[in-house]
Amino acid sequence: MAIERTFLMIKPGSVERGLVGEIIGRFEKKGLKIVALKLAQPTRALMEKHYEEHREKEFFEGLISYATSGPALSLVIEGEDAIAAARKIAGATDPKEADSGTIRGDYALDVRRNVIHTADSKEAAEREIALHFENSFLTKHVSQEDKSAVLAL
């Protein structure tokens, strides 16, 4: 087991429905720590880069339209096996297959508006964190001393 960081995005429909606190609480109750968060309306260019592996699929345009339809909350969480833990908490992508007690099982209405995005691998997490927090402190490799100094400002 290893301490990891992963990327989550609470999608616009979830923000609109007032589910942010409930969703974040599930990760915190599991012992995962929020190390960054940002509320913003994602741009089309950002979401096209984010979901580029789906560009040729029939659902791509709808996915991008939904992801850019309103404010979304982007988060970086950290903890032991954070990537697998986040995927388990979120549940299966298709809410019809998601177990009750998971975020998608409890709140998602359909597969295209499935409440939350979670990175599916270490590589995806690193890429998505860099995309959504590109000029932030998170994407720079600094020493612990430098981190303390920056946070103290």
- pLDDT given at position 130: 93
Which pTM was predicted? Answer: 0.86
What residue numbers bound the domain in which 123 lies? 3-152
Q: 8 or 152, which is more confident?
A: 8
Encoded amino acid at 48, one letter = E
117 is catalytic: yes
**Total domain count for the chain?**
1
Closest CA to 125 of 75, 91, 88, 54: 75
- 16-62: per-residue pLDDT in tens? 999 999 999 999 999 999 999 999 999 999 999 999 999 999 999 99
What CATH number does residue 123 fall under? 3.30.70.141
CA distance 50 to 43: 11
- What span, in angstroms and rounded, lies between the C-alpha atoms of 125 and 150? 24
Q: What integer pLDDT is reported at residue 149 of this predicted model?
A: 36
CA distance 144 to 138: 12
Of residues 50, 54, 117, 141, which has the active-site annotation? 117
